[in-house]
Structure 1
Amino acid sequence: MLGGSIALAAVDSSQTLNYDGDTPSTVFDFATIPDILRLVVLPVFGYLAWRDIKTRRIPHRTWYPLGALALVLLVWDGYMVFTGDAAALDQRLFLTRVSISVLVLVPLAYGFWLLGGFGGADTKAFMLIALLFPTYPDYHLWAVGIEGEFATLPLVATDVGVFSMTILANTVLVGALYPVALAGKNAVTGYVSPAMFVATPIDAAAATQRYGVLLEFAEGRLRDARSPSALRSHFSWRRLDLDALRMYLQWRGLDLASVRADPGRYRDPESLPEESNSPGSGSVADSDVAPTDTAVETDGGTLTSEPKEYDDPWGAEAFLDDIDGNAYGTTPEMLRDGLETLAEEDVVWISPGIPFIVPMFFGLVVAFTYGDLLFTLLGAIGIA
């Protein structure tokens, strides 16, 4: 059962667009037309979450109709507030909530993108949420025969009343479950380390069929890190984005099996092809260039796998120079280290990550139905 104070907060914070006392100003008793149209976002984000898991790619054109819808609904809400029967206090609350959502959360998303915390699609999704949901929607299920405390959704709202912040809080809480589940899986298999929350083991030969970041950890287990410097070494991870790996292999016209079969041959920059391929985007679906024979004849015959010193091992610098260095933040050293690891190891650890849009979708579903999870948790411990 919901506490009386929480239920009251839900009613008080979500009635910004209710103008006639107890009856919403709607064409249908269920909700206002803008709030009904906002329900379209749920199946759309469900599709985007599925696509993000499968391909880690969201087409740019996806955001244009959603952005247009967000602007139309924002203007529509504003027109209803300022031309209807809303009190002056409701009008000020509407402006305050819109200002917080748009002027705080949109720059925040952009800042996370600049710092590398968000990808481009994640940033656009975050900004879109800020525009679409500055205030709480209000859905009256009593209009379809549902009575009682569940007759109005969302059930729980914050006193601030900014719905986009509720979605963000839910997204963070839902996303936090992923590293916990990953740590549990690793603990069962005996991998106990700070890395257990972010990494999972895979077959090195299958690395090009996975999305994520290749990680390398310092030797030792968590219990061996008894000093700040030892603990810090666990987090000194050298990273190679597997998208960048696919770009490199496609650029060379190679597959990973060839690299693993004869690393010495391809470690020599003289083995680079005279005509390189387009690297593509690094998507698994785009990695379709057939391997080419790039054997190089030297005085000793075909190159062997014996380690040698080269100015540009693996041609990593040549690759990045040729594509203007834009391979998901990869440096020549990161690419070389990753290739060496994949050539030498049978099992490697990757951080599969979790596309931000996936927990955002579940955060949306929870926000539309239950409301604000964080507000409830803080209320349970007497903070909110």
Structure 2
Amino acid sequence: MSMDAFSLPAIMLPLLINASILLITLLYGCREDIRERAVPVVMWYPAAAVGTLMLIWFWYSVITSGDLPYMMPLIPLILFFVIAFYLFTRFHLMGMADTKALILITVLVPCFPFVPLTGYPLFGFPPYVFFPFTVLFNAVVLNLLLPVAFFISNLIKGNKAPLPYLFLGYPVKGETIADEFGIVMEHFEETDGTLQRSFIPVRAAIKDMLAGGKRVYTKSLKENPTQYRKELDLYKKAGTVWISYGVPFLIPITAGFLTAMIFGDFLMALLTLIAS
């Protein structure tokens, strides 16, 4: 069985079909998440339906080819990742759409459909090499680059805030904050006509997020303007309001999915760079 870059073992054809359908689904989901700030549930149905049929074909091929012993070590990894992704949502670390995407990737494309440019990474016996870990790692790496980009952008624009907030967000116009995408990072109070503002401590914000507390999302401002009338008035008076960057994690997941398929594992590239 050839192991050249982009070679496709015949047994992986159903996974390639799954990967193609998932990529289309993820790209559409990113578009909806950016435009509507929500991913329609029905979006996942075609990928799940076709993916299930392809998965039956794949596992049947694995069993009949006698390759099941090579695949067995990956089964606990698949179960572990599915449970872990569910718990991420349970403890408010990830949105429901993100969890659905990662679970579908884990179940429907457990192995690399073909050999990526950098070759197979760890976690499996070729060609049954665990794909979801690479997707997640690449997504996290790409997501971690965003704070650096925001820090540089804030410095260039001359935006002033305590150091951590320069990495975590940016100021927007209070008058149009409902049209932005993110979470409000400041607290406002008006006493005797004087507006007072302060940044919400990062630790308190994280604690509140984990507890499912009442963070002010710009999405909520747009969908429930009457409920947030007081906050919207204060934001207008403030002129500008700092919000955390609201790039949906579905976008890094999609980018991680695509880079994993084509280039392979960023972790392996990093280890190779360190070793050299």
**TM-score normalised over the length of structure 2:** 0.79
Q: Secondary structure at the match of 1:157?
A: coil
Q: 2:72 maps to which residue?
A: 95
CA distance in 1, matches of 2:122, 2:156: 42
- Post-superposition offset of 1:37: 4.5
Q: Residues 50 and 233 of structure 1: is their aligned pair in 2 closer, same or farther, counting only changes over 3 Å? A: closer
CA distance in 2, matches of 1:168, 1:215: 27
Q: Does 1:170 align with 2:138?
A: yes
Q: Would you say the 8 A contact 2:136–2:253 is kept in 1? A: yes
Per-residue CA distance 1:306-342 (angstroms, 9 max, x = gap): xxxxxxxxxxxxx5xxxxxxxxxxxxxxx68844641
Aligned length: 249
- Post-superposition offset of 1:186: 0.9
Q: Residues 336 and 208 of structure 1: is their aligned pair in 2 closer, same or farther, counting only changes over 3 Å? A: closer
Q: Secondary structure at the match of 1:202?
A: strand
Q: 2:59 maps to which residue?
A: 78
- Post-superposition offset of 1:121: 0.9
Q: Which has the higher contact order (CA 8 A, sep 6+)?
A: 2
Q: Residues 188 and 106 of structure 1: is their aligned pair in 2 closer, same or farther, counting only changes over 3 Å? A: same
Q: Secondary structure at the match of 2:103?
A: helix
74-83 or 189-198, larger mean C-alpha shift: 189-198
Q: 1:194 maps to which residue?
A: 164
Q: 1:156 maps to which residue?
A: 119
Instruction: Report percent identity of matched pairs.
Output: 28
CA distance in 2, matches of 1:60, 1:44: 11
Q: 2:47 maps to which residue?
A: 66
Q: Secondary structure at the match of 1:39?
A: helix
Question: As a proportion of its length, which structure holds more strand?
Answer: 2
Q: Secondary structure at the match of 2:171?
A: strand
Q: 1:366 maps to which residue?
A: 259
Q: Secondary structure at the match of 1:99?
A: helix
Q: Secondary structure at the match of 1:51?
A: helix
Q: Residues 96 and 69 of structure 1: is their aligned pair in 2 closer, same or farther, counting only changes over 3 Å? A: farther
CA distance in 2, matches of 1:105, 1:242: 31
Structure 1 gaps of 5+ residues are: 1-9, 19-23, 139-151, 219-231, 253-318, 320-334
What amino acid sits opposite 1:162 in the alignment? F
What amino acid sits opposite 2:142 in the alignment? V
Q: 2:211 maps to which residue?
A: none
Q: Secondary structure at the match of 1:32?
A: helix
Q: Secondary structure at the match of 2:141?
A: helix
Per-residue CA distance 1:244-302 (angstroms, 9 max, x = gap): 223332xx3xxxxxxxxxxxxxxxxxxxxxxxxxxxxxxxxxxxxxxxxxxxxxxxxxx
What amino acid sits opposite 1:159 in the alignment? L
- Post-superposition offset of 1:35: 2.1
- Post-superposition offset of 1:156: 2.5
- Post-superposition offset of 1:169: 0.8
Q: Would you say the 8 A contact 1:239–1:338 is kept in 2? A: no
Question: Which residue of 156, 179, 204 corresponds with 2:174?
Answer: 204
Bigger radius of gyration, 1 or 2? Answer: 1
Q: Would you say the 8 A contact 2:22–2:105 is kept in 1? A: no
Q: 2:83 maps to which residue?
A: 107
Per-residue CA distance 1:36-59 (angstroms, 9 max, x = gap): 453232233222212212222111
- Post-superposition offset of 1:158: 1.7
- Post-superposition offset of 1:206: 0.4
CA distance in 2, matches of 1:121, 1:34: 21
Q: Would you say the 8 A contact 1:50–1:358 is kept in 2? A: no
Structure 2 gaps of 5+ residues are: 124-128, 189-199, 206-213
CA distance in 2, matches of 1:66, 1:212: 29
Q: Does 1:44 align with 2:14?
A: no
Q: Does 1:378 align with 2:263?
A: no
CA distance in 2, matches of 1:244, 1:37: 35
Question: Which residue of 241, 247, 257 corresponds with 1:354?
Answer: 247
CA distance in 1, matches of 2:17, 2:117: 13
Q: Residues 242 and 55 of structure 1: is their aligned pair in 2 closer, same or farther, counting only changes over 3 Å? A: same
CA distance in 1, matches of 2:264, 2:23: 15
Q: Secondary structure at the match of 1:213?
A: strand
**TM-score normalised over the length of structure 1:** 0.58
Question: As a proportion of its length, which structure holds more helix?
Answer: 2
